[in-house]
Every structure is written in structure tokens, then in C-alpha cells.
Structure 1
Amino acid sequence: MSTLMTLKKLAGISAIAFAAMTAANSVNAANWRYAHEEYEGDVQDVYAYKFKEYIEENSDHTIQVFRFGELGESDDIMEQTLSGILQFVNQSPGFTGALIPEAQIFFIPYLMPTEMDKVVTFFRESEAINEMFPELYAQHGLELLQMYPEGEMVVTADEPITSPQEFSNKKIRVMTNPLLSETYAAFGATPTPLPWGEVYGALQTNMIQGQENPIFWIESGKLYEVSPHLIFTSHGWFTTAMMANQDFFEGLSDEDKKLVRDASDYAFEEIIVHINGLADEALQNIMKASDEVTVTRLNEEQIEKFKARAPQVEKKFIEMTGEEGKKLLNQFKKDLEEVQD
């Protein structure tokens, strides 16, 4: 056989092998479905698209992202994840707390620091976050891939509030979360659980007189239009969690498991950059958009009056979660002490 014919034959074999490999990759490629509970451009949406970016740049898999309302509300997307319709879901402990009571720990007021650098360090290094929570989520069919902060919680109301007494007789919307209800009851308000889709209308019609959310979400949802008085109470940060259906995750190859974990870590680093300065920018946008908005930042003396009511919420958390919750809370506090040093 001539050298030329040999080269042609080898080239033909290589082409066939390449085509077979490409076909195999195509067969193995999957489209994964991922839902979150926020709007386009909000923090969870940015995280989801950074996750998608990493997956699609480093594999043949694709990610289909669904935003708030496209597949229902928070409870709906969790049900779809647990049933395997969705592979990934991003949901805050405010809603997951009904399924995993220990996740409500984030709603104990004045437990978390308010300085962003300390909050970020806590999420990076906390044993409670990175070791204990994954075990708790796994007990409920979920693979916890990442917990991350979104922003400081801000209360909006129909008038400025500076003391628990001024919360009296005010219905404050809370997520469907028993401990968050306990927090606002401790603060002197009447907690009123409502799904997100009803909040704007309820504020507009005075069915409720206030609510709490990170400032970017107050801007995004235009809540300042119907609840213009912003109160910075320094009582906590909004936290969220990104997770996978556990059966789906366990069925992945080792290579794909690493891909998913690396993508969640990549998105975490990107979101930390994204939220830096986001609250200040959102507040500026709100102030430009409305002349009716007022901003009240509680001073230390005023904060102490609210903080004095936090122990009853902590006690309720332990009642709800038992020894498991007590162990988690102790580790949480230990981790926070290390951040504060």
C-alpha cells in the first residue's frame, strides 16, 4: 500500500473515531432545569446564570433557568425539585424552613453580623454552614451545593418605626416560616404570612402595613411605591441556598459531580463580587424614583430595644428543632465568634 493511501486510510479512521466520540458526547449531554425565586437581574438570577455559564463552558451539558413565577412560587419549585422535574433549585431558608426546621436559624434576629466582610467570611469558613447543613438537607432528599448571602434585611412600613411599641397593631408580611413569625411577634407586630405574589397588592390596599426584604428586592419589586418608609434595623441578612435533587446528583458521574460543585463555587465567588455595593446602589435608585421614601437607621440605643427581644425567638427555635437545632445553634455561635475576633 502506498504511503499516500495509508495516510488517507488513517485520516478516514480518525474522522470516524472523531465522529463517534462527538456522537457519544452528544448522547451523554443533558439539559438540566434550574429554578429560583427572583426576577431577571436579581441576585439569585445572577447566581443561576453564572452557574449556567460555568457548566456550559466546561461541558456539553446545558442549563435551562426558570425565574420567579415561570413555574409557580417557592413552594411549587421545591415540590418539582423533590419529584425530579427540576434538577436544581435556589430557595431561601424562609421557605425551606417548613421542610427543614433547622434552616430557620437565619431568622433568629441579631444572630448574624451586619458587616459584609464578616458575613462573607462566615459563609466561607463556618462549620455549621459547610458541614452540618449539607447533612440536614440530605435527610430530605436534597444535595446542598451552596449557601450564600444576598443582602441586609430592611423593613418597609406605612410610617417610620424606631421601637417595638411602634410596631404595635401593624400587620407585617412574613414568608411562610414559623420562626420569622415569632420574630415579628417578638418585635411587637402582627406577623402575616403571605406568598410573594400577593405582597404588593396587600400593601397597596393596607391589608398589611409592612414587610421585610433586602433593599435590592425592595427596588426590584417596587415595594417602596406602596410601602415608602425604609427602616434599617440591623437584625439580619437574607440568606439563600442552591441545591440539587439528591437522587439526580448521586446518579451523576464523578466527573459531572465535580463539574456541578465547581460551578456552584464559581457562582459563589461571582455573586460575592456582585452584591458588594448593590444595596447602596439600590437605595440610591429608590430615592431617585420616589420623593415619598424616608430612610430610618436605628441607633444603638434603639437597636438594643429590639435585640432584648431576640432571646425568646432563640428559645422558640430550640423548641421547634430539639437537640439537632441546639447543636446547630451552638456551632453557629462558635463560628460567628471566630469571625468577630
Structure 2
Amino acid sequence: MHKLKTLVGACTVALVTLGTAATAQAATWRYAFEEAITDVQGVYATKFKEHIEANSDHNIQLFPYGTLGESADTMEQAQAGLLQFVDQSPGFTGSLIPEAQVFFIPYLLPETHEALDSFFRNSKAINEDFKEIYAQHGLELLKMFPEGEVVITTQEPFEKPADLNGVKIRVMTNPLLVESYKAFGATPTPLAWGEVYGGLQTNIIQGQENPLFWVESAKMYEVSDVITFTGHNNFTTAVMANKRFFDGLPEADQALIHEAMDVAFDHIMEYQKGLSERSLEKILEQKPEIEVVRLTEEQRAPFRAAAKEVEAKYIEMTGDSGKALLEQFKQDLEAATAE
């Protein structure tokens, strides 16, 4: 009997060892993002998944918005290691990583697709400086990419900051975005995304900002009467990995992840060409009466002037580290727009 127990124990150890070895070779990685599977982040995640699974034995489980809670929930899960990957806008990580709010200084990012592509590919601030900052919070920053020009949807048209006086605009829970809309003359109202449609429907808020594809996908046009192009920003998002997980991977897996991120970046930049125009067409098909306003450069001037106030607030919030990052950011932007 003793020999039998020993044999069974040895077999159990052998099976566990084999199972561990198999896990090291083939793993299931969990990846959550803030949008639907058919939206920009979902398209990016799907391309990443395809490349990983085509070039390894690993599997990627994708979790679109809402399946694991709100943005704060998925970030906590990523930091705890329950998720291996998370895609989250700096808008939601602004409280956790104040320096990331640089993306919400109005009129800072370039407006052309080519300049944006060059900036996100080559920026030292993004690809080196930010990586160090995110690492301090247990996150491996893998890729940042733009998602599209931000528009503001409201119930009434506006042409100048004074027109937004008293208008409650929903913003992400981001301190600098709050300052931006204060500078624009509005009343910024931080809300979780799940509350926005109902808030617009019941007039708790009267406006919100997002890229056009999201206005169309989330049906924000149903509870808005005006879409205004102000040119003030391009929505940015960041894909991160749990740092303990990433650092513990074999070099071959780390290299594969970086390769898949590059492939997904190329794909999403191509995918976005004409996306805003296609989204606007769909909105107008569903709601022909919605008013579309494009502010002229003259009308944008006071909003651009307000951006200087927001930039000063950013430096005040982030101190010397934020100031140095902003200076590098501007150098990178200058190089991208020069190209």
C-alpha cells in the first residue's frame, strides 16, 4: 500500500509538472478594452489576437466594454494580474497617472492623419518616457494610438465659449479634462460611461465629447441635436500589460507581443482612414435633422486661447516631471508635423 501511494504521488507530481510545462508553452491571456468589439479598440484587439494565435499556441480572450465592469474595474483587475492586457484611455488613468493627462491639453495634437501616425510611431515621450512612468504603477505600456477627432454633441449649437455658459458637458473622470471644459466656458460633469446616454436623455447633462465613430456606435446622436467640430483633440488610448506578467514571460513571447502590437497599430491606422466620414454618413442616415457645425478658424481662436490656461493647469498638477514630459511632447510633435 505504501508503494502504491508513492507511485500515485509520483504520477501526480509528474502530471502537475507536465501541466505546468504545457502552460508555459500555451497560455490563455485575458485582454479587456473600453469599447465594443466592432469599435476601434475592438478592431485593434482582434488584430492583436489574430497575430498572437497565428504565431504561437497562446489564446487571447477578449472582453469588450461592460463585460468586466467600468474602466476603473478593469484597471484594478489589470494591476492585480487578473487581466494580462488592458486598453484604456489616459482620460481614465489621469488620476492614477497625472502625466498622461497631457493628451487632454486642447489643440496640442496634430489634426492630419499623417502627422498623427508619425507622432505615435516615433515620439520619444510616448515610446520611452511614458513607459517608465507607467512601469511605476505596475503596468507595461505597450502601445498608444489615436482613435479619431473628438467632436462635442449638445442640445443647442455654440460658436464661442460664452455660448457654453451653464451647459453641463459630460467628461471622463479626468482632472485636466474638467479644467478644459471650465476654460471652454461649460460646466464639466464627470460621469461613468454607462450613465451618459440616460443623463442626456433626462437632461442631467446637455452634452458630451467623443470621436464620431463612438457617437454613432453608442447612439449618442439619438439624445443630441447638434454635432460640433471644434478641432480641439484626437481621442488617444493606451494598451498596457500587467508588468509582473510581462516581465515573467520568455523573451520570445515578449518579442511576439511587441510584434503583434506593431501589426495591430498598422492595421488600425489604415482602418481609421475615412472612419469619421463613414460614421457621420451613418448618423445622418438615422437622424437627417441633426445639425452639424464646423467651427471656422476664427471661431476656434478663443478656444485655442483657453488651451494656454489648461496647459498651465497641467504643469501645476504634474510639477517638474509633467513639465519635462510636455517639452519632450512638443519636440516630438514638431518633428512629426515637419514631416
Q: Please report the TM-score for the alignment, with normalisation by the length of structure 1.
A: 0.92
Q: 1:239 aligns with which of 225, 236, 239?
A: 236
Displacement after TM superposition at 1:27 (Å): 5.8
Aligned residues: 321
- Residues 25 and 60, structure 1, Cα contact 8 Å, conserved in 2: no
Q: Deviations over 1:168-203 (max 9, x none)?
A: 010000000000000000000000000000000000
Partner Cα separation in structure 1 for residue 178 and residue 135 of structure 2: 26
Q: Report the RMSD for the aligned CA atoms in angstroms.
A: 1.4
Q: What is aligned with 2:77? A: 80
- Residues 216 and 278, structure 1, Cα contact 8 Å, conserved in 2: yes
Q: What is aligned with 2:9? A: none
Q: Partner letter of residue 318 of structure 1? A: I
Q: Partner letter of residue 324 of structure 1? A: S
- Residues 26 and 60, structure 1, Cα contact 8 Å, conserved in 2: no
Q: What is aligned with 1:13? A: none
Q: What is aligned with 2:159? A: 162
Q: Partner letter of residue 207 of structure 2? A: G
Q: What is aligned with 1:31? A: 28
Q: Does structure 1 residue 171 correspond to structure 2 residue 168? A: yes
Displacement after TM superposition at 1:291 (Å): 2.4
Q: Partner letter of residue 252 of structure 1? A: L
Indicate the percent of aligned positions where both proteins have the same amino acid: 60
Q: What are the ranges of 5 or more consecutive residues in structure 1 without an aligned counterpart?
A: 1-20
Q: What is aligned with 1:329? A: 326
Q: Does structure 1 residue 278 correspond to structure 2 residue 275? A: yes
Q: 1:135 aligns with which of 132, 135, 149?
A: 132
Q: Does structure 1 residue 315 correspond to structure 2 residue 312? A: yes
- Residues 164 and 188, structure 1, Cα contact 8 Å, conserved in 2: yes
Q: Does structure 1 residue 306 correspond to structure 2 residue 308? A: no
Displacement after TM superposition at 1:228 (Å): 2.4
Q: Which runs of 4+ in 1 moved over 6 A?
A: none
Partner Cα separation in structure 1 for residue 34 and residue 297 of structure 2: 34
Q: Which moved more, 1:107-116 or 1:168-177?
A: 107-116
Displacement after TM superposition at 1:161 (Å): 1.1
Q: 1:267 aligns with which of 264, 282, 287?
A: 264
Q: 2:216 aligns with which of 215, 219, 225?
A: 219
Q: Does structure 1 residue 61 correspond to structure 2 residue 58? A: yes
Q: What is aligned with 2:336? A: 339
Partner Cα separation in structure 2 for residue 22 and residue 260 of structure 1: 23
Displacement after TM superposition at 1:227 (Å): 1.0
Q: What is aligned with 1:198? A: 195
Q: Partner letter of residue 181 of structure 2? A: Y
Q: 1:250 aligns with which of 238, 247, 250?
A: 247
Give the secondary structure class of the aligned counterpart of 2:205: coil
Give the secondary structure class of the aligned counterpart of 2:231: coil
Q: Partner letter of residue 335 of structure 1? A: D
Partner Cα separation in structure 1 for residue 161 and residue 147 of structure 2: 26
Q: Partner letter of residue 33 of structure 1? A: R
